[in-house]
Amino acid sequence: MIAENLHSLRLSIAKAQAGAPLAAPEITLVAASKQQPLDALQAALAAGVTDFGENRVQEAEAKWPKLLAAHPQARLHLIGGLQSNKALEAVRLFHAIHSLDRPRLADALAEAMRKEGRRPDCYIQVNTGEEPQKSGVAVREAEALIAYCKGLELPLAGLMCVPPPQAHPAPHFALLREMARAQGLAGLSIGMSGDYETAIRMGATVVRIGTALFGARVK
């Protein structure tokens, strides 16, 4: 099941890429494995998935250390919000953090990276829909946060957003792409199961896909 889903995902990723002038040449498929049981993770690893996204540090700490030891090629991405007091644990475990959205967290990550001697790729999450309940820096504050992170010499890989569920995603991806271009950032972490083809046509370098790969999440 997961192997078949992966195969058809890869085909539709390639199809979305083909003939799309803005599409990135290399796209990383991050399997959003939050709330998925161990056997699903193992099936995905066996099928050749290398990148996995978790949205909670604690859940990832429970699921991943053994799997990472057995699969040293695997890379773990934090795609959910991060509390500053979990920065050290996050830097220890993750290879990329997609939810950097405030100066205090940038400080905590910089400090954790110094302590741990590890430098996970950082993506700044932008709340392009200005949704009050959603994480992500406000659009009008993003430039200042990017400058702040550059000042701390954080390894900034790019920008990330999650458009509002009811909205057409393309204008959100276009805004993020323009912000990244203006800031000289190459990475665009955009696109989920419902909108990854749009995201790829608009230049996604990372897509984060859960249900289209694993099926529904287990609560």
Ligand X SMILES: *Cc1c(COP(=O)(O)O)cnc(C)c1O
Distance between CA 23 and CA 200 in Å, rounded? 6
Q: Is 76 in the site for ligand X (CB under 6 A)?
A: no
User: What is the footprint of ligand X within residues 15-34 (CB under 6 A)?
Assistant: 32, 34
Nearer to ligand X, 185 or 195 (CB): 195
Q: Is 63 in the site for ligand X (CB under 6 A)?
A: no
> Where does this chain touch ligand X (CB under 6 A) — which range of 11-19, 61-69, 169-177, 204-212?
204-212
- What does each C-alpha distance from 18 to 13, 91, 180, 213 come to in angstroms? 9, 36, 23, 21
Least distance CB 99 / ligand X (angstroms): 8
Q: Which residues pair with 160 in a beta bridge?
A: 125, 189
Nearer to ligand X, 201 or 208 (CB): 208
User: What is the footprint of ligand X within residues 151-170 (CB under 6 A)?
Assistant: 162
Q: Is 193 in the site for ligand X (CB under 6 A)?
A: yes
- What does each C-alpha distance from 118 to 48, 86, 156 come to in angstroms? 25, 15, 14
Closest to 119 measured CA to CA, from 151, 142, 87: 87
- Name the residues that contact ligand X, by CB under 6 A: 32, 34, 55, 79-80, 162, 192-194, 208-212
